[in-house]
Structure 1
């Protein structure tokens, strides 16, 4: 069964920016991605690695899920990043441009060699055409891999696709990765929205991601946190209807009835299962405040 830990919002924070790392302690993000890759200049990589690992080890981030995005597998910093992360023991190591199961195995091997705790999972970023074609193998590669992360900016670049409202050029890719994640019981996070001033566009993309089935969204700015958390949390109406579905089904089963309806709609086991999943998610969201 897919892990129901809330991951509505996963905010990228630049690992080289000490003030940003300090601010992250107060933000309402379900997860923080302390970034050693795109947000850090080459000459600052090593200092950022030390700063991020110290932040993870500090224990000062409360209930937030703390992850470290390492540099890519084909870079000179990658293996040292993974080794340092293994010792720091974050909740997960986020690996960019994972293209195959072998890439997952290579990261897992280093984590285990360096004594990473069992709680340190792998989040695989899917952001190339090759990765899309191998999404099934990536999702199935390891029990330590718990989350797929869509890298929609890099994917659009490699596809030579345009960024347009509704994301029609990427819908096939998003759907394939969702299928892979659900087939192997993983969570999956939608890609970033680039225009932090376009609140309506961001809200629309959050709704689309939720409708597709994403568990949450990766973010580039703190201003996106609250609308994202709201979009990916069960609404009061959804919670109320889920309770009515479960109650009606249980009452019908107790009476021996074979047919159950709620609001004029036929209710089957699959609807009850979905209602229970939604209520479990609502409880998990409430538990983290």
Structure 2
């Protein structure tokens, strides 16, 4: 009996795409199949060219002990509250959300784990499954209802410098999947803060999220301990069990076709077709033209 239980435990671990590093196991479908191996990490890791180590603590903690963390009294809540009483993101899908930086309370804060300003840091709360799609390779879906505004998962991987991103992108062929995402945040005086994340070799389940021109997830940078933001994905609407999870690779929500859509990138490569099946599908996957401005030294 003990040997059988041990075998079952081993099989269960093998089926967990997250390798036991999330709150919940992440299954794969069909049974016996799975994506190409990669190194799993639930959090960002420092990669080549990164200016900041994402594991480095750079923020002080708040001193909210007897009072809740609220705007005006908590040093972490700079504007209005980020989450409501049900720990759902307020104003989901609003463009205003991008204009207001989000900070959660961190390990140095005195408010404790009961604080309502701690959501993303608590990790995976829903049962998810990696599955084989018809045209898009592997995808990610939910096995249970996810209410609108709930945190779903992070998009975690290697945090890279700009030139390393360019090098990796120029080495890709048309058949290669591009997992690299560029987050550009407008801060002040016209300055832009850029964060580049690549989960190709080291990453989490977020790497299996496919693009959709009518997505059900919204990606928002959330900072906790470090200036390097967590790329947090929230439900933009109620998501039903079995529904594929998706976000807009361009960083926008409900992207529309425009007259500048072409079949090639700025370096002449054919753009990858979009198979999201949405009524407002643009026909091609988004790409960041700034990463093709100069050809890097790839030696």
TM bin (shorter chain): under 0.3
Instruction: Indicate the structure whose relative CO is greater, using CA pairs within 8 Å and at least 6 residues apart.
Output: 2
Normalising by structure 1, report the TM-score: 0.28
More helix by share: 1
**Structure with a larger share of its residues in strand:** 2
